[in-house]
């Protein structure tokens, strides 16, 4: 893999994270309650943190040892559809976040299989691993919320 190819992949990943930042900012503008705005701001900051991680990979590279196995509660996979975009309940925000992370995980996993170059495949597997961790975080919040009888 050339440095140019490596940077193109990371630029693509950063762009996806920037889209997520914009998504959560848009939801903040639409929300009516301070608690919702605060949670959406936290999600925005989490996505901005992902950009920092990607830029760290750009500087330090990626090793197969960096890829962590993350359990999958599969909550988002069992949801048949996304909530209405205008629906801003805590539950719907968590579902939207889970679905975004699930889709990113699937994308990076598919990309890791499409490239025969082991370095490129490792890079996409690392990005997929990070998205799996984020998805698990939202699934745990969702599970906790539902378990409380909400």
pLDDT digits (tens, 9 = 90+) for 3-23: 898 899 999 999 999 999 998
Count the domains in the chain.
1
The Cα 108–Cα 52 span in angstroms is 18
The Cα 48–Cα 25 span in angstroms is 12
| Per-residue pLDDT tens over the stretch 106-119 | 999 999 999 888 88
CB 126 within 8 A of CB 67: yes
CB 132 within 8 A of CB 126: no
What's the average model confidence in pLDDT over 87-109? 90
Residue 50 belongs to domain spanning = 3-147
| Per-residue pLDDT tens over the stretch 67-78 | 989 999 999 999
Sign of the torsion formed by the C-alpha atoms of 28, 34, 40 and 43: positive
DSSP code, position 14: H
**What is the pTM (predicted TM-score) of this model?**
0.84
In 31-117, where does DSSP find H-type helix? 34-60, 90-114
Burial class (CB in 10 A: 0-12, 13-18, 19+), 10: middle
| Per-residue pLDDT tens over the stretch 21-79 | 998 999 899 888 888 889 899 989 999 999 999 999 889 988 898 898 999 999 999 98
| Whether residue 81 has pLDDT greater than 80 | no
Residue 80, domain CATH: 1.20.1260.10
């Amino acid at each position: 893999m050339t440095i140019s190819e490596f940077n193109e992949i990371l630029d693509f990943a950063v762009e996806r994270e920037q889209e997520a930042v914009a998504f959560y900012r848009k939801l903040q503008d639409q929300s009516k309650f301070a608690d919702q705005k605060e949670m959406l701001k936290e999600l925005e900051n989490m996505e901005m943190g992902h950009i920092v991680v990607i830029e760290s990979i750009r500087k330090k590279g990626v090793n197969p040892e960096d890829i962590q196995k993350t359990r999958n509660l599969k909550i988002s996979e069992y949801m048949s559809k996304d909530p209405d975009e205008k629906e801003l309940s805590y539950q719907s925000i968590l579902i939207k976040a889970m679905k975004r992370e699930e889709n990113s995980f699937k994308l990076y996993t598919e990309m890791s299989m499409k490239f025969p170059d082991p370095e490129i495949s490792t890079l996409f597997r690392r990005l997929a691993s990070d998205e799996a961790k984020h998805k698990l975080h939202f699934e745990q919040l969702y599970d906790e919320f539902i378990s409380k009888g909400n």
